[in-house]
């Protein structure tokens, strides 16, 4: 299906950590990351006891569409809609849906998730968000979650996955890059505290506070090692991620030429045969109640 082309949508939003959403390297990184993360988590909805109950699904900030396309392939009863502010991402997602022959059930639209969503109330059984930390500021969450609840049907699920802003590895240089990343995310108000769990420690509380019932959490400790396909994917994600996010990190963490030195050292250390890393992701989900006293 073709994408919506709303020329009033800003394709270069100031809140996104990678300013240029037309950046080819960022599209490549997100494609690699989509596949890597979904596989490491055991599938698109591994924590849900009965994904068959979800017929209409919305994927917020869908990027190149990897999660939605995999969901369409795994669950033939689902109809999925992905939204992203980037026209380039949406065009790529539409092309991929057609290539994988799921374009009859997976459509992608240009839309700004920080504005009111262009869907009727109670449209979806499941609303999915992954890595919202990349563009949501701390003060955005109340309005954002309220809008997600609006478009979710009664007893439907809001599902949010995000990562701790660090990784436990034997690379000192990679550890330093993550420390700068934490600093940048905190100073730019993308996380609530200057620590690895600056967002993830608050998400369950936020879901409950702004209207979800039965909030649950699942923790994933994703392990990657050099010399494996998964380790190669992690390396590519980090290589491209710390490159495309460099202007954001240098600006907010006030890092100069030292960044390039540490970045290059991290690339070398991640290619060592003994490199290993654990990256923690958390998925939070809650149900929209019929009424709340």
Give the pLDDT score at 24.
Answer: 87
CA distances from 66 to 98, 163, 169, 224, 249 (A): 13, 18, 27, 20, 26
Q: What's the pLDDT at 217? A: 97
In whole angstroms, what is the distance from residue 106 CA to residue 38 CA? Answer: 17
pLDDT at residue 23 in the model: 76
Q: What is the pLDDT of residue 287?
A: 97
Query: Residue 190: which of 218, 217, 165 has the closest Cα?
Result: 165
- Report the pLDDT value the prediction gives residue 143, as an integer from 0 to 100: 96
Mean pLDDT by 10 residues, the chain (293 residues): 37 66 84 94 95 97 96 97 95 97 97 96 98 95 97 97 96 98 97 97 96 96 96 96 95 96 98 97 95 48
User: CA 13 to CA 53: how far, in whole Å?
Assistant: 35
SS3 103: coil
CB 118: neighbour CB atoms within 10 A? 12
pTM to 2 decimal places: 0.92
pLDDT recorded at residue 121:
97
What sign for the dihedral angle of Cα 23, 29, 32, 33? Answer: negative
Is 94 in contact with 105 (CB distance < 8 Å)?
no
The whole-number pLDDT of residue 185 equals 97
What angle do helix axes 24-40 and 229-244 make, rounded to 10 degrees?
A: 140
Per-residue pLDDT, 18: 82
d(CA 9, CA 46): 34
């Amino acid at each position: 299906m073709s994408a919506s082309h709303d020329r009033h949508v800003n394709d270069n939003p100031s809140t996104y950590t990678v300013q240029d959403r037309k950046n080819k390297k960022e599209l490549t990184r997100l494609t690699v990351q989509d596949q890597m993360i979904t596989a490491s988590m055991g599938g698109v909805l591994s924590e849900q006891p009965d994904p068959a109950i979800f017929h209409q699904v919305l994927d917020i900030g869908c990027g190149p569409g990897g999660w939605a396309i995999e969901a369409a392939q795994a669950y033939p009863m689902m109809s999925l809609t992905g939204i992203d502010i980037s026209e380039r991402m949406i065009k790529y997602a539409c092309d991929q849906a057609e290539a994988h022959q799921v374009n009859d059930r997976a459509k992608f639209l240009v839309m700004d998730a920080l504005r009111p969503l262009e869907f009727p109330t109670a449209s979806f059984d499941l609303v999915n968000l992954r890595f919202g930390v990349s563009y949501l500021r701390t003060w955005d969450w109340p309005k954002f979650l309220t809008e997600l609840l609006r478009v979710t049907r009664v007893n439907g699920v809001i599902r949010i996955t995000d990562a701790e802003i660090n990784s436990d590895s034997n690379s000192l240089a990679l550890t330093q890059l993550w420390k700068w990343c934490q600093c940048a995310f905190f100073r730019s108000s993308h996380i609530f505290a200057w620590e690895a769990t600056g967002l993830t420690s608050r998400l369950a509380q936020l879901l409950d506070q702004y209207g979800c019932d039965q909030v649950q959490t699942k923790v994933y400790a994703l392990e990657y090692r050099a010399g494996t396909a998964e380790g190669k994917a992690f390396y590519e994600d980090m290589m491209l991620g710390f490159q495309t996010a460099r202007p954001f990190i240098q600006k907010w963490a006030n890092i100069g030429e030292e960044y390039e030195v540490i970045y290059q050292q991290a690339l070398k250390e991640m290619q060592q045969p003994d490199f290993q890393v654990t990256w923690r992701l958390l998925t939070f989900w809650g149900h929209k109640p019929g009424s709340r006293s």
